[in-house]
Amino acid sequence: MWIILVFILAAACPDGTWGCQLPHDWRPQTEACRAELAEIIVFAKVLALHKESYSVYNYLPWQHDTDLLFSAEIELLCDQAWGSMLEVPAGSRFNVTGLGYFPCFSYSVTKNNNYYFFLRMDENYNIVPHGVNFQDPIFPDTADNHRMFASLFQFSNCTPGTQVHSFTPEWEAQEDSRLLCSTVQKALFEEEERVRTLSQKVRSLEKANSHLREKVKTMKRLLRQAQREKMKEALLFQPQRGNFSILAS
């Protein structure tokens, strides 16, 4: 959620213009939907933080302040999540680059803390956060997050004492029979878009109808005015005819 907040707060540039804007059709996605789209899902401990130089993932407009950019050395506390694209066992260590505080979002972690990470591998084989749908890909080690992620994916060979659910064959069968959240959400978004389009058409028709009513009212007013003018001319013309008849006699 913090990534969205930072995205919005950073949207106003110093000159008053909006530099960071989400797509007009953006909608927030649940963790379940984003987990389906994340390339790599791991549960890991942050061992160390390392200052980073500039790269394509951590550009800042104020280039003199590099203390805001860093990478994290992490150690997997379990084998990767079932279905994840990264096949490495528990105890493996690697660096996650592209962390820090940016103009429109932030990816931050703290040394010696555990996190769930949504990650991806770039074309140069760097492991970077996978901010699916412009939302936060890093989740702290809390009871609420354990409960939430327990229904999304499971891990195996976890370090003793790790409070995550281990992989079971029954869970795999349950996962195979579950409707994909992203598919359901896509259908909901399409229906929402259809309703929005119909609403726009209704508003357009209501506006056209309002203009038509105004035209009718104007025409009625002009017609009444023309009738009054005609009656006024008729009243003025009647006395003149009487005077002519008197003179003729």
DSSP one-letter string for 210-237: HHHHHHHHHHHHHHHHHHHHHHHHHHHH
Please report the pLDDT score of residue 66 as a whole number. 59
Rounded mean pLDDT, 18-42: 80
Residue 80 three-state SS: coil
More confident residue, 77 or 177: 77
The region of weakest confidence among 64-73, 128-137, 203-212 is 64-73
Residue-wise over 187-199: b if at least 16 C-beta within 10 A, else e?
Answer: eeeeeeeeeeeee
Rounded mean pLDDT, 170-196: 67
Tell me how far CA of residue 199 lies from CA of 134, 152, 192, 227, in angstroms.
28, 36, 10, 42
Distance CA 243, CA 239 (A): 6
Q: Identify whether the C-beta of residue 167 lies closer than 8 Å to the C-beta of residue 156.
A: yes
- pLDDT tens digits, 219-239: 999 999 988 888 888 787 765
Confidence of residue 6 (pLDDT cuts 50, 70, 90): very low
**Looking at the DSSP assignment, which residues form a beta bridge with residue 129?**
119
Please report the pLDDT score of residue 17 as a whole number. 41
Distance CA 71, CA 100 (A): 8
Please report the pLDDT score of residue 124 as a whole number. 86
- pLDDT tens digits, 66-91: 567 899 999 999 877 555 656 778 88
Please report the pLDDT score of residue 16 as a whole number. 40
Rounded mean pLDDT, 133-157: 83
The region of weakest confidence among 10-14, 207-211, 235-239 is 10-14
Please report the pLDDT score of residue 158 as a whole number. 80
Global confidence as pTM: 0.62
Please report the pLDDT score of residue 83 as a whole number. 56
Q: Is the pLDDT of residue 204 over 70?
A: yes
Residues above pLDDT 90, as percent of the chain: 24
Distance CA 237, CA 232 (A): 9
- Show me where the domains of the chain are located: 2-178, 180-249
Please report the pLDDT score of residue 195 as a whole number. 85
Please report the pLDDT score of residue 15 as a whole number. 44
Name which CATH class applies to 2-178: mainly beta
CB half-sphere exposure, 197, CA atoms < 13 A: 6
Q: Is the pLDDT of residue 10 over 50?
A: no
Please report the pLDDT score of residue 102 as a whole number. 79
Please report the pLDDT score of residue 133 as a whole number. 87
Please report the pLDDT score of residue 14 as a whole number. 45
Rounded mean pLDDT, 2-16: 44
DSSP conformational letter for 81: P
Q: Is the pLDDT of residue 60 over 70?
A: no
Please report the pLDDT score of residue 93 as a whole number. 93
